[in-house]
Amino acid sequence: MTPAPADGPATAAAPLSGLLSLRDRVAVVTGGGGGIGRAVCTRLAEAGARVVSWDLPGAASGPGVDSVPCDLADAESIHAAFARLDEQHERLDALVHCAGVTRDAVLWKMTAEDWNSVLSVNLDSAFRVLHDGIPRLRAAGGGSIVLVSSINGERGKFGQANYAASKAGLIGLARTAAREVGAFGIRVNVVSPGMIATGMTEELPSEVRRRAVGESALGRLGQPDDVARVVLFLLADASCHMTGQVLRVDGGQLIG
């Protein structure tokens, strides 16, 4: 994807459908088998992208998506996934980091194993994916990266020190990367969801879900596709002059 000229976006006169098109672009989605990840894969495929999902074996990512087994906590598994990408697609235009896990406990009861496992999947893997992905985006002439954080990375959350720290780290990582790679025509942004109705949140006590709805200005939990639409916007040319930004998809949870 060639960067827009300095005097304005090359797509200024293009119709909206064209500004949201990812036709013929190759996009990697980590955690593509999760609730948000699957929705992202679906939206990107509908926009014309060749979508590759990296997730644990057996994690389905929907029709039209190339599901590649990858343990995001293992550096060698990520290297192998990139090698397969080079062999099968020969380019990379977009990266979306959706992979995430939780291991909740208050700080004084949290084990080192639970701390390390969450940071490894949520944050360390983002570093590894960007480290290996940025040279490929540069070779393609530019591209876009989206990291999926959380409003709990901005506000903190009782019992989620590891998760909140990992999601806060994604924001710092993205803003630093945006400064470092902008000159290469690569944009880096963050989507910060509130509570989204996924398999992960369905396991929470009903009172926790009700409290999240009560915090929301819109009075409902978000859906995975609410996040996926914003990810598509940030990958597409419609957002060609946005980088280093954090867009909340939280129904207004964090404005109160």
What residues are annotated to the active site? Answer: 163
Pure H helices in 120-248? 125-139, 152-155, 161-181, 199-202, 206-215, 224-235
Q: How many CB atoms lie within 10 A of CB 155?
A: 11
Task: Report how far residue 76's alpha carbon sits from residue 79's, in angstroms, rounded to the nearest whole number.
Answer: 5
Contact 218, 245 (CB under 8 A): no
- CA torsion sign, 83 to 54 to 238 to 245? negative
Pairing assessment for the beta strands 65-69 and 50-55 based on DSSP bridges: parallel
E strand segments, the chain: 26-30, 50-55, 65-69, 94-97, 143-148, 186-193, 246-249
Contact 178, 221 (CB under 8 A): no
